[in-house]
Structure 1
Amino acid sequence: MKLEMICTGEEVLAGQIVDTNAAWVADTLMDHGIEMQQRMTVGDRLEDLIQAFQQRSQHADIILVNGGIGPTSDDMSSLAMAMAIGEPQVENKEWRQRLTQWFAKNQRPMPVNNLKQAMLPESAIMVDNPVGTACGFRVKLNRAWLFFTPGVPFELKRMVTDQFIPFIKNEFDLDKPVKVTKLLTIGGGESFLAEKLQDIHLPEGIELGYRSSMPYIEIKIFARGEKAIAHLDSVAAEINICLADLIVAKNQLSLAAELHQLLLDSGKTLAIAESCTGGMLSSQLVDFAGSSRYLVHSIVSYSNAAKVNLLGVDESIIDIHGAVSIETVEQMAEGARAVLDSDYALATSGIAGPDGGTDEKPVGTVAIALACREQIFSQILQLPARSRGLVRSLTCAVALDMLRRKLNKTAVLVNYPSYKKGN
């Protein structure tokens, strides 16, 4: 089975928005052992859409089309599909009724242009959208089924999960079962990781892939076929031994997701004091429901006055050692922990740039501390200073990793090949 995806929309094509839908679809399909062979983006132009549907339907078995089924004039996917197949659009009575009921239920008048969403190619089979007004549908053209989905992310995700994946599994005989294990790493570049793993023996049917999404490099272990899948755990274990301290999570999207679960399981509490990361650290944890069970407070102590007055940092410490120092960040962490007597506290301070660096402390210099009830762990690192955002996200990753290691009862401070130790 050959599966492709066509993403529509001028805003996507022009780079005005990042196409997170396509990334989510590919990742979700892979979790089900379904690989995507090709993806293309087409703007909101009728002729281009018609051409894309006609051409790709001669090569693919199934095509997921995302976007262009809304009520506005630039939503052209349904019309383009009808013209590509050479048939009229007809009103789907069931969906018109659903639209009428939806607007009545929400006590809103239905704009006339919403009726456009009930107009489908004549041979189309309706695909339910229980969380929105855009009607999904599928049509057969040449060798391919084209499966049309809304661009709104939560509507797309519901349709893919409830409709698209079951359709694939029911209609197509997948050549081989595919399983993927994902290992999240920090502190080493792609070339470094590849060199470290070059001598690992990969059984037939297993291959490695690398994906850079800073602050992480994700290693994907693809296993195709039952025999390969049987070796998947042993290959992952060998990679784990090879990379040791660089692997921070398995089958997780982020370090924050890994730490969130560890904190929930531990029953421990956490406080945070942030300077250079400016709330990014706590925000990553608050993204997850249930974080209130462990995150007691977070203080963005950006100025030196805030460090002194809110966290109790000794002003003379800042005068002597500077805001970006082991001495200051340790007092920040202990001050944050003491406020509500939390089990742990993380603190960050650094020079994110693009200005503010010195010869002694260049841009990318960060100090990070983890305060526990019994001791404080701290370090200064010189991080890659390619951008302000990168320095901040890398700082968060290291801070989260320090607490992850503490909860896992392993060494809190380790060497990251891509991050230099500071003084």
Structure 2
Amino acid sequence: MKLEMICTGEEVLSGQIIDTNAAWVANTMMELGIEMQYRVTVGDRLDDLINVFQERSMHADVIIVNGGLGPTSDDMSALAMAKAKGEELVENVQWREHLQDWFARNNRVMPKSNLKQAWLPASAVMVDNPVGTACGFRVKLNNAWLFFTPGVPHELKHMIREQFIPFIRQEFGVQDISALEKFLTIGYGESSLADTLSSIALPAGIELGYRSSMPHIEIKIFARGEKAIRQLPDITKQVRALLGSAVVAENRPTLAAEIHHRLYQSGFSLSVAESCTGGMITSQLIDFPGSSSYLHHGLVTYSNESKVNVLGVNPQILDDHGAVSVQTVEAMAQGVRAILDSDFALATSGIAGPDGGSDDKPVGTVAIALATKEGVYSQMIKLPRRSRQLVRSLSAAVAYDMLRRELLGEEVIVDYPSIPRCGE
């Protein structure tokens, strides 16, 4: 099955918004063992939409079309599809009644413009959208089924999971005859990871893939077919052995997800004091429901005054060593842990840039500490020539990894080839 995607919208084409929908769809399909073979983005121009529908339908078996199903004049996916097929738009009475009921249930007056969403190409098969007003539909053109989905992310995801995946399974016999294992790493380059794993003899049906999503590099092991799936545990074992301490999580999208998994309902508690990371550590954990079971508080103590008055850092430490020092972050971690007697506490302080560095502490210098009830671990890392955002995200990842290693009873401070420590 040849799967393609057409993404619509001037805001996507011009880069005003990042197309997270396309990335999510591609990753979701990949985890089913289906690779996206082609993707194109087109603006809200009728002729361009018609042309791309006609041209790509000659090459693909299935095309996911995302966006352009709204009630405004620049939402033209249905009209363009009708013209591409040379047919009229026809009102779908079922969807018009759904719209009227949806607005009534939500105690809202339905604008007349929303009725536009009930007009579909004459040959269209309606695809339900129980979480929004945009009616999905599918149409056969040339060699391909074009499957039209809403641009609102949560509506798209619902439709892909509940409507699209069952459709392709039925239409093309797509079965779950694939499996996927994922390893998350930090502090290693993609090429060095590939070199490390190059000695593995991969059997037929098993492939390695690499995805850079800083601060992480994700390694994926795909197995397609029953024989390959049976061999997957052995290949996974080999990959794990070769990577060693480079692996910071398995089958988790981020280190924050790994930390949440290990702390959730564990009985342990965590507090965080952040300077250069500015709440990033805390925010990533709060993204997960249930984080209140372990997260006591997260404090952004950006100024020296807040470090002293909120966390109780001794002013002499700041005078003697500066805000970016292991002595300061140790005091920060101990101070924030003591507020509610948390089991663990993380603290960061650094120079994220692009300005503010010195010869002794250039931009990218970050101090990180982990405090426990038994003691404190700390280190100072160097992240030169990184953007402000990357300095912050890498620092958060290293902090998470220190906590992860402590939870597992492993050595807390380890070497990352691409993240040297100060003094190295």
8 Å Cα contact 1:78-1:121 kept in structure 2: yes
* Local SS of the residue matching 2:282: helix
**Aligned partners of 1:267, 1:355: CA distance in 2, in Å?**
41
TM-aligned CA deviation for residue 242 of structure 1: 1.3
TM-aligned CA deviation for residue 385 of structure 1: 3.3
Q: Which runs of 5+ in 2 are unaligned?
A: none
* Local SS of the residue matching 2:36: coil
Question: Is it true that 1:412 corresponds to 2:412 in the alignment?
Answer: yes
Matches within 5 A, 1:160-171: 160-171=160-171
**Aligned partners of 1:31, 1:195: CA distance in 2, in Å?**
24
Q: Taking structure 1 as the reference length, what is the TM-score of the superposition?
A: 0.98
Which residue matches 2:173?
173
Deviations 1:344-377 (A, max 9, x none): 0000010000011111111111010000001111
Deviates more, 1:254-263 or 1:203-212: 203-212
* Local SS of the residue matching 1:21: helix
Matches within 5 A, 1:15-414: 15-174=15-174, 177-414=177-414
**Aligned partners of 1:42, 1:355: CA distance in 2, in Å?**
39
* Local SS of the residue matching 1:273: strand
**Aligned partners of 2:33, 2:192: CA distance in 1, in Å?**
28
8 Å Cα contact 1:353-1:385 kept in structure 2: no
**Aligned partners of 2:238, 2:170: CA distance in 1, in Å?**
36
TM-aligned CA deviation for residue 264 of structure 1: 1.0
TM-aligned CA deviation for residue 323 of structure 1: 0.8
**Aligned partners of 1:364, 1:120: CA distance in 2, in Å?**
55
8 Å Cα contact 2:169-2:175 kept in structure 1: no
8 Å Cα contact 2:307-2:313 kept in structure 1: yes
TM-aligned CA deviation for residue 247 of structure 1: 1.1
Aligned residues: 423
8 Å Cα contact 1:384-1:419 kept in structure 2: no
8 Å Cα contact 2:90-2:119 kept in structure 1: yes
**Aligned partners of 2:213, 2:382: CA distance in 1, in Å?**
20
**Aligned partners of 2:356, 2:201: CA distance in 1, in Å?**
47
TM-aligned CA deviation for residue 161 of structure 1: 0.7
How large is the RMSD of aligned CA atoms in angstroms? Answer: 1.2
Percent identical among aligned pairs is 66
**Aligned partners of 1:191, 1:330: CA distance in 2, in Å?**
35
* Local SS of the residue matching 2:264: helix
**Aligned partners of 2:133, 2:151: CA distance in 1, in Å?**
12
**Aligned partners of 2:259, 2:274: CA distance in 1, in Å?**
18
**Aligned partners of 1:218, 1:274: CA distance in 2, in Å?**
26
TM-aligned CA deviation for residue 34 of structure 1: 2.3
8 Å Cα contact 1:127-1:138 kept in structure 2: yes
Deviates more, 1:344-353 or 1:403-412: 403-412
Change (3 A) 1:176 1:143: farther
TM-aligned CA deviation for residue 175 of structure 1: 8.6
Deviations 1:251-300 (A, max 9, x none): 11111011101001422000000000011110000000000110001111
**Aligned partners of 2:231, 2:315: CA distance in 1, in Å?**
57
**Aligned partners of 2:173, 2:26: CA distance in 1, in Å?**
19
**Aligned partners of 1:149, 1:252: CA distance in 2, in Å?**
27
Q: Segments of 4+ in structure 1 off by > 6 A?
A: none
TM-aligned CA deviation for residue 118 of structure 1: 0.3
**Aligned partners of 1:45, 1:394: CA distance in 2, in Å?**
41
**Aligned partners of 1:316, 1:98: CA distance in 2, in Å?**
68
8 Å Cα contact 1:34-1:178 kept in structure 2: no
* Local SS of the residue matching 1:267: coil
8 Å Cα contact 1:352-1:385 kept in structure 2: no
Deviations 1:36-65 (A, max 9, x none): 211111111111111111111111111110
* Local SS of the residue matching 1:420: coil
* Local SS of the residue matching 1:220: strand
